[in-house]
Structures are given as C-alpha cells and as structure tokens.
Amino acid sequence: MSRELVLVTGGTGFIAAHCIVQLLEAGHRVRTSVRSLARADEVREMVRTGGAEPSGIEFVTADLLRDDGWPAAVDGAAFVLHVASPFPMRQPKDHDDLVVPARDGVLRVLRAARDAGVERVVQTSSFAAIGYGADPGRPFTEDDWTDLSNPHLTAYVKSKTIAERAAWDFVERDGRGLELAVVNPVPVFGPALGSSLSTSVELLRSLLNGRAPVVPPGTTTGVDVRDVAELHVRAMTHPDAAGQRFLAVAGDPITFHELATLLHERLGADARRVPTRVLPRWLLRAGALVNSDLRAVVPQIDRRQGASHAKARRLLHWDPIPTEDAIIASAESLIARGLVRP
C-alpha cells in the first residue's frame, strides 16, 4: 500500500473532496490547501461523508493570488493534484477577474512543485479549453483547443484555456523534468459531500427547488465527479499519462428537456417542481440583448458538443458511470442533505 504524500489544492472544492477520498482509500497520505484553516473541519466532514477516514489529512493555507504558502504546501510531496480554480455562478464583467488567478495560480503551483522535486502534477482543466474552437465535424478529442480569438468566449472559458496553455508552456520551458498531466472534465455531476457544489449540480438544485418555470434550450454533456477523481488518481501514477490531456466525459449529449424528464421519471414526487417546458430560443436571444450571462449561452444553444473519452479508456482503462446515473446521484444527494425544499 502506497504511503506517498499527495498535495490536493483547494480541498473544500467539489472535485477536490472526492479526490481526497480516493487518495486516502488508495493508501496515500494527503495534504490539502485551503484559504483558511477554519475550513479544515468542513473538509474532514466531506471526506467522512465520502466514506474515508479524514484524521490523517494535513492542512496548509495557500491562496492562488499569493506566492507565500505554496513552498510549504508542496514540501515532501511526490505528486500534486492542482484542482483549485475559480468557477463563478455569474460571469464577471472584467475577464481578468478569472483569467489572472487561474493562470497565475497554476504557475505558482507548478513553480513550487518543480523547486520541491515533485514528480508529477495533474492539473484540473476543463472541456472549456477544448470545445470552443472550429467544429471538427466529429466528437471533440484532446487534440482540439479552444480558439482564444473567438469574441464570444466567456471569462471562464478564457481562464481555463489560458491557464492550461500556460501550464504546458511552463513545463516545456522551465519544468526541469517536472511531469504534467491534465484532466479536462465536461460539466460535472455526482454526489455532493457538503455545501460545495459544481455549477452543474447547482443547476440541478435550482430545478429541483422550482426556481425557474422553464428549462433552457440546448444540450449538456456530463460526467460523475467520482469518475473525475478516479481519472486524476490514475493520471497521477500511470507511466503513459505524463505529457497527456484526458477528456473526462461519460457519453453523448442530452438536452435539458431530457434531463428534466429523467428527474421526473427517476425521482417521482421529489421532482415535482422541475419544469419540463423549454424556454423558446427567440426569448433567450431577446434576453441576451440585456443580460451578459444569457449572451454567453446563446452561441451554444444549437450545438451538440459531443466529446470522446476513448483516450482515457485506452491508456488508463477508465470506464465512467453513465451520465444519467451521475445526474440522479447528484439529485439524490441534494435531497438527502436537505438542499432541496421539502
């Protein structure tokens, strides 16, 4: 059983907490960074909810916007899972509010990891860094990159693309043998371990609580957070993962109407507030004239952004949970945790 020390950045996060659970179950020692030690008990409780014993977790304070804290965070670590990155519910007016901490944060982590002799860093990027370029006429793969010259990109899409580009450039120019692997998840569903939720799970929560009379047009892809964490752990140690990107996606896109129907079929009365009417496209486009969040959605409403996990399956033997099961696991956990109105 391994006793190597792994640093997981942003331990209070949705994906990070599941990574910690799986690392502990695999026998690794875990250290995690938080912006305040006051949140250590929150992390321990999430890990306990996930089924692991949290007593041995080490905590350090470190912030993506500051240099101090990172040398201590990586000291003695064999591997780093750099999961921390801002993901807002609303798009900021100034794109740099997301781009700067995402880009500078990953460079701080990589620089500290290199100087400390870390073997490999696994960075959590996103499908956002892959799927907003020219339509390849096939499912997106790890060979595709988002086109930063696209004037319709949101701040989040820009931040993930620029941060991942910066990471690869740093390792190539200044890595001095530091290995990098990158995981690019599509929208992440799956069980909530605490109050920290992905944006996709927040959307489910909003639907289950009846906060909207309609569902948006268009489609989404999905992946279970447990599979995303597993892919991080596999990419951390597998010899063939160094220097590779891995798309984390479970299956074909589904429409939001299909998602709402799935909730009704599988949850019954617990989904009674979930709308099944679809917002007309013309109304969405009209709203986009005055709402920047809607404006960011409009270019995507008629896209079926299929993506392939063939590479992760082939190299890392990764076999994800179906998207529908991930969505239901999200919803059931929200209900169980009292995050949906009774």
Q: Which residues are catalytic?
A: 160
Which structure tokens are listed for 173?
């120019």
Contact 99, 155 (CB under 8 A): yes
Closest CA to 205 of 340, 336, 327: 340
Contact 82, 122 (CB under 8 A): yes
Closest CA to 248 of 147, 318, 180: 318
- Sheet arrangement for strand 29-34: 58-61, 29-34, 5-8, 79-82, 120-124, 179-185, 245-248
Closest CA to 256 of 291, 303, 192: 303
Contact 67, 73 (CB under 8 A): no
E strands along the chain, which residues?
A: 5-8, 29-34, 58-61, 79-82, 120-124, 179-185, 188-189, 219-220, 223-224, 245-248, 254-255
| CA of residue 249 relative to chain centroid, distance | 11
| Continuous H helices in 75-137 | 96-116
3-state secondary structure of 256: helix
Contact 56, 29 (CB under 8 A): yes
